[in-house]
Amino acid sequence: MKSSYELAMERLNKNTPANTKLTAKQKKALAELDSRYAAKIAEREIALNGQIASSADDVAKEESLREQLVFDRKKLQAELEDKKQRVRDGKDV
């Protein structure tokens, strides 16, 4: 008799096969995307952290900028994951 974990893993593997092999070209494209988006995120953090530091006396503006930083980071990470999935699917290489 199989455990619930084993049954769940079987269902998961039916829906999304985990043994997808990536080509060297895909691996290189994924690494380039990681590098490019790490730079974009760092650039955005530097810019907004500078603005946050200069608005230390305005609490509302500072909070707004912190929220903008979180939003931008999530947006860029989602964009990165979307592009990485396209590379994995063989659509963008």
CA distance 6 to 75: 35
Q: How many domains does the chain have?
A: 1
45 domain residue, yes or no: yes
Q: What's the pLDDT band for 7 if we cut at 50, 70, 90?
A: confident
15 domain residue, yes or no: no
CA distance 93 to 79: 16
CA distance 51 to 62: 8
Q: What is the value of pTM for the model shown?
A: 0.72
7 domain residue, yes or no: no
70 domain residue, yes or no: yes
Average pLDDT over residues 62-87: 94
For the cut 70, the answer to whether the pLDDT of residue 15 exceeds it is: no
Residue type, 5: Y
5 domain residue, yes or no: no
Segments forming the whole domain that contains residue 49? 20-88
Average pLDDT over residues 60-84: 95
56 domain residue, yes or no: yes
pLDDT tens across 18-52, in order? 557 889 999 999 999 999 999 999 999 999 999 98
Tokens of 15: 């829906």
28 domain residue, yes or no: yes
